[in-house]
Structure 1
Amino acid sequence: MRKLNFQLYNFRFKNSENKVSIFDAIRKKFIILTPEEWVRQHVVQFLLEEKKYPHSLINVEKVLKVNGLRKRYDVVVYNPDGSIFILIECKAPEIKIAQATFDQIARYNMTMRASFLMVTNGLNHYFCQMDFENEKYHFLEELPNYKLNSL
């Protein structure tokens, strides 16, 4: 897999039936390694190691309903009260981040109502803070670090 625009993290890999799998610390199991999964696992480590979010507040690849359709989000970070703090959309490195990607995460967020959004293909990262009152988002340089009292 190609080098991504993240720090170097230690990952566990497994080979079986000519397929490489990577260990997901959140789901606590090995997942087949695809380019998008490579990005997703870097995001998880970024949240855990750089931003210091606890394992217990992070969830990976779950189904949600958007306008009656079943969709799957990549990563969310919860507030301790169970509301969603950060919604993250991961794309494979060869996928360019375009307006359609922001439209996708914005549609998901109409249901989820996360305070922050992150969109990444592992090479380019975009961070936004939601402004629900004015129905828009503001781009940020970084996501906030975990602080128990600020969530």
Structure 2
Amino acid sequence: MQQLNFPAYSFRFKNSENKVSIFDEIRKKFVVLTPEEWVRQHVVRYLLEEKKYSKSYINVEKMISINGLTKRYDIVVFNPDGSIFVLIECKAPEVNITQNVFDQIARYNMVLNANYLMVTNGLNHYFCQMDFEKEQYNFLRDLPEFNR
């Protein structure tokens, strides 16, 4: 798999039926290793190891309903009160981060109301803090520390 713009992490892999799978610590199972999954697993490790976020507050690939359509977010980090601290959208490295990607995460966030957003293709990372009063997001250098 392609080198990403994250620290080097070690992962568990397995081969089955000519498919490589990677172990997801959050879902506690092996999932097929696609380019997007490679990015998602690096983000999970980044949250756990660099940002020291608690594994128990992280959720990966869950269904949500947006305007009657079923969608699936990549990663959310919950606050202890159940509200959403960070919503993260992962793309494969070959996918450019365009306005369409920001529009996608903004649509998801209309339902989820996360305080912070992260968009990444593993090579380029964008971090934003929501300003709900002005209905805009402000770009940041990194995600904030997690307040337990």
User: Scaled by the length of structure 2, what TM-score is found?
Assistant: 0.99
Distance (whole Å) between structure 2 residues aligned to residue 136 and residue 57 of structure 1: 25
Distance (whole Å) between structure 2 residues aligned to residue 67 and residue 117 of structure 1: 20
* C-alpha displacement of 1:147: 2.9
Distance (whole Å) between structure 2 residues aligned to residue 140 and residue 67 of structure 1: 29
Matched, 1:16 2:16: yes
Aligned runs of 1:1-151 on 2, under 5 Å? 1-148=1-148
* C-alpha displacement of 1:145: 1.8
Give the secondary structure class of the aligned counterpart of 1:74.
strand
Distance (whole Å) between structure 1 residues aligned to residue 95 and residue 120 of structure 2: 10
Distance (whole Å) between structure 1 residues aligned to residue 145 and residue 135 of structure 2: 24
Q: Which amino acid aligns with 1:83?
A: S
**Gapped regions of structure 2 (runs ≥ 5):** none
Q: Which runs of 4+ in 1 moved over 3 A?
A: none
Distance (whole Å) between structure 2 residues aligned to residue 56 and residue 82 of structure 1: 12
Distance (whole Å) between structure 1 residues aligned to residue 50 and residue 10 of structure 2: 13
Q: Which amino acid aligns with 2:142?
A: E
Q: Which amino acid aligns with 1:66?
A: I
| Aligned residue-pair number | 148
